[in-house]
Amino acid sequence: MNKTEKLIANKEIELICVYDADGSLLGELNYLWKKAFHSFTCSMCDITHNFITTKKKWKTEVQNCKYDISTYHLNDQPTLIKETTLNNTPCVVKVESGSSSILISNDELKTIDGNVDSFFSLIDKKMTRN
């Protein structure tokens, strides 16, 4: 087992998905308004949510995933993540040994087109390369 495999097995690598929206009630309403009337999209939101609720497939895949995956909104990101994602959301951040870097960019998330299986395939592909 190599170093990365050991870190994954021990859940020492965390993957943080960051939405391009605030998680407050006003933020959620603003997002829904922009989505419904201005064709605004958040590629990470499209992967994790239907129009309003979290996708069941997403919940299942996160529970079964070998990586520790969490999600944050713009307004509730930890400081380390906020410094990494500045003006680069939505995205997926890899946190390892106290440092963070963007693992998957918005452009890459857009190509997934909301598909949960494609998201986890891309995660596996990226993690085996790093």
Q: How far apart are CA 26 and CA 47, in angstroms?
A: 22
When the pLDDT of each residue in the chain is averaged and rounded to a whole number, the result is 87
Average pLDDT over residues 41-48: 92
Confidence (pTM): 0.84
* Tens digit of each residue's pLDDT (9 = 90 or more) over 50-95: 877 999 999 999 999 999 999 999 999 999 899 999 989 999 999 9
